[in-house]
Amino acid sequence: MPSDHDDHPECNKELVKQIKVQEKIIGQLKERINLLETINTQKSLGDEIAVTFYCLVLGELTRILKNKEDEIREKDEQLTAALKLIDSRKETPPQLHDDDQLD
């Protein structure tokens, strides 16, 4: 079946030219879409890395804080025990040993 354009080679050339321009535009759009997808993937990956790093840092800070709390609690217990010992020595009068007694 012959087309209406077959009789007009100029029309065919113009159509071929327009098709090539459109194919070029489509190719450029595909490149841009691929670039945007790559950027989006990298951004998502970057966000994922940032969240992972944040969680690691938060976990480490929590561990350090827990260790410091344990350390402070231990020192507080030692201080409390020392104060109780000092108080108990104040309450009981010093005992005189046999050689310290007055004649």
Condensed to tens digits (0 to 9), the pLDDT of residues 39-90 reads 888 888 888 888 899 999 999 999 999 999 999 999 989 988 888 888 888 8
Q: Is residue 84 part of a domain?
A: yes
Q: How long a stretch of residues is the chain?
A: 103
Residues of the domain holding 24 = 10-88
How many structural domains are present in the chain?
A: 1
Residue 94 DSSP class:
P
Q: Is residue 93 part of a domain?
A: no
Q: Is residue 103 part of a domain?
A: no
Q: Is residue 40 part of a domain?
A: yes
Q: Is residue 4 part of a domain?
A: no
Task: Tell me the pTM.
Answer: 0.45
Alpha-carbon distance of 57 to 37, in angstroms, equals: 30
Alpha-carbon distance of 42 to 59, in angstroms, equals: 25
Distances (CA, A) of 89 to 73, 78, 92: 24, 17, 5
